[in-house]
Amino acid sequence: MRMNEKQVRGRAVARIVQYVVIAAMFTASGCLDQKAGAPAIAVENVWSRAAETMQHSGEHAGHSSAQMQVNGVVYFDLHNRGGSPDRLVAVSSPVCTVAEIHRTVMQDDRMTMRPIKDGVTIPPGAKIEFKPADYHIMLLGLNESLTPGMVFELEFEFELSGKIVTKSTVRTP
């Protein structure tokens, strides 16, 4: 029995679909094997500006040292050597009450800094510098003075890479 034209065309289409499905399966398994999609984050060149917490011994009436909040600042590079983006979502440190991701921007001819609530995305292959007059981490309410040469712990939290613990060295810029 001979196939009519419709049957021949139908078989050809079925064969093409089969090839496409097999090709897609190869591509998907290749991705899984190589883990090409994972980000690879490094936190590099971490340093902090020296900052001294106020220790007034009562010469200003009504001004206890607890009311004098002193903040610190941290700079570093975020390097993503992986194949997909990741996002810095939070930072914490035992030396302060709260650490916030900030960015200094120009607004009405003035430098002003604002908290970055949504975090900072690091595209694959990119290096993002946290530096003066740009992105930085603000250490709000220092528990102790940051003196030159001192080293303290910082914990970074990334959306995909999870937690990365590193150390910051205090310097005078």
Query: To the nearest whole angstrom, how small is the minimum distance from the Cβ of residue 76 to Cu ion?
Result: 14
Q: Tell whether residue 102 is a contact of Cu ion (CB under 5 A).
A: yes
Query: To the nearest whole angstrom, how small is the minimum distance from the Cβ of residue 113 to Cu ion?
Result: 4
Q: Tell whether residue 49 is a contact of Cu ion (CB under 5 A).
A: no
Binding mask 138-157 for Cu ion (x = CB under 5 A): x-------------------
28-65: string of b/e by CB count within 10 Å (b at 16+)?
eeeeeeeeeeebebebeebebbebebeeeeeeeeeeee
If the CB atoms of residues 39 and 99 are measured against Cu ion, the closer one turns out to be 99
If the CB atoms of residues 135 and 158 are measured against Cu ion, the closer one turns out to be 135
Rg of the Cα atoms in the chain: 27
Measured distance CA(47)–CA(166) in Å, rounded: 11
Query: To the nearest whole angstrom, how small is the minimum distance from the Cβ of residue 126 to Cu ion?
Result: 22
Q: Which of 113, 128, 150, 164 binds Cu ion (CB under 5 A)?
A: 113
Query: Do 129 and 77 meet the contact criterion of CB atoms below 8 Å apart?
Result: yes
Residue type, 107: Q
Measured distance CA(55)–CA(61) in Å, rounded: 14
Residue numbers at the binding site for Cu ion (CB under 5 A) = 102, 113, 138
